[in-house]
């Protein structure tokens, strides 16, 4: 079993509320110059969950489950920054107001730019939730370390989820992570160059359909654990030959240039200390029995 410092981590409350869907005009212009009117970020998405495909929807940047924020008008201020940075994938979230009060869900991602934290709930809870309902998250995970692998950095990951990701230790000082696919760094777009990966995500660009077909990107699902080769996420998002980053798919494919399914960082290594292999079951829905796998 991977040795971690989870007993030294702080569990702290952060609280958001169900966000309004956000639009800045009726049309989005696609990367091939066509105006479209489709749903996007925010609100409660009733029919898309982690485990569903991230491609094929009449949508742009759509977020599975429940999108939450502290304050729509103050996305870049302290409380919402703390909410996005401290809430980690796999954290418990509890509804604390409204008709669904008491219902418990799981944090599945955070989405940069709009600065949303995404949460999965059972369908019955989705039907009871309203925009503005408050949700308390037990934030736990930032500061997590692999004690025997100091060159590997961890972000945004609840220790309980890490323990369920079927990561294996290899005798040559590396770890092996199951992922659904490998993505070359050359396909990463919006979000590249960010100074921190402790919140937000960056997008797999999908305008080049030959690349989509070559890497089978159209098979990606919400909640998939994926590998980005030659990508160093240690101190922001950058290209570095030989580096490897592991992330989770948080939002759907997109219609605008430089965008596509968003990936939030979980692990990264500047050197080749992270190996990976393809496993089609490497998805948070399978690991935590949520989303399409809820029983």
- Give the pLDDT confidence score for residue 26 in this predicted structure: 87
Sign of the torsion angle spanned by Cα atoms 278, 174, 201, 9: positive
Smallest Cα–Cα separation from 55: which of 204, 233, 155? 204
Q: Is 72 helix (H, G, I), strand (E, B) or coil?
A: coil
Q: Where are the domains of the chain?
A: 6-139, 152-293
Q: Is residue 219 a contact partner of residue 226, using CB atoms and an 8 Å limit? A: no
* Topology (CATH) of 152-293: tm1086 (SG structure) fold (2.102.30)
CA dist., res. 221 & res. 204, Å (int): 13
pLDDT at residue 240, as a whole number: 96
| 80-112 per-position pLDDT tens digit | 999 999 999 999 999 999 999 999 999 999 999
pLDDT the model gives residue 171 = 80
Q: Say yes or no to pLDDT of 118 above 70.
A: yes
- The average pLDDT across 12-27 equals 93
Residue 276 to residues 154, 237, 243, Cα–Cα distance (Å): 16, 19, 12
Amino acid 295: pLDDT = 66
Q: What percent of the chain shows pLDDT beyond 90?
A: 93
The string of pLDDT tens digits covering residues 52-84 is 999 999 999 999 999 999 998 999 999 999 999
The pLDDT mean for the chain works out to: 96
DSSP, collapsed to helix, strand or coil, labels residue 4 as: strand
Token pair for residue 282? 């490497």
Structural fold of domain 6-139: Thrombin, subunit H (2.40.10)
């Amino acid at each position: 079993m991977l040795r971690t410092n989870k007993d030294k981590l702080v569990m702290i409350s952060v609280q958001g509320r169900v966000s309004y869907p956000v639009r800045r005009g009726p049309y989005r212009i696609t990367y091939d110059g066509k105006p479209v009117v489709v749903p996007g970020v925010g609100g409660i998405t009733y029919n898309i969950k982690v485990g569903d495909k991230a491609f094929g929807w009449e949508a742009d940047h759509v977020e599975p489950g429940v999108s939450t924020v502290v304050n729509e008008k103050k996305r870049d201020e302290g409380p919402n920054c703390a909410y996005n940075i401290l809430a980690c994938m796999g954290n418990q979230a509890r509804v604390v107001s409204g008709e669904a009060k008491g219902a418990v869900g799981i944090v599945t991602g955070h989405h940069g730019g709009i600065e949303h934290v995404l949460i999965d709930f059972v369908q019955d809870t989705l039907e009871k939730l309203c925009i503005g309902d408050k949700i308390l998250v037990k934030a736990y995970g930032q500061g997590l370390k692999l004690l025997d692998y100091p060159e590997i950095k961890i972000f945004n990951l609840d220790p309980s989820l890490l323990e369920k990701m079927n990561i294996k230790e290899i005798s040559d000082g590396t770890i092996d992570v199951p992922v659904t696919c490998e993505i070359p760094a050359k396909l990463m777009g919006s979000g590249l160059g960010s100074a921190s990966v402790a919140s937000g995500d960056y997008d797999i660009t999908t305008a080049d359909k030959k690349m989509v077909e070559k890497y089978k990107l159209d098979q990606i699902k919400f909640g998939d654990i994926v590998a980005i080769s030659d990508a160093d996420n240690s101190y922001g998002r950058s290209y570095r030959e030989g580096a490897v980053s592991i992330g989770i798919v948080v939002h759907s494919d997109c219609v605008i240039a430089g965008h596509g399914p968003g990936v939030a960082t979980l692990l990264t290594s500047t050197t080749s200390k992270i190996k990976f292999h393809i496993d089609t079951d490497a998805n948070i829905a399978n690991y935590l029995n949520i989303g399409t796998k809820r029983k």
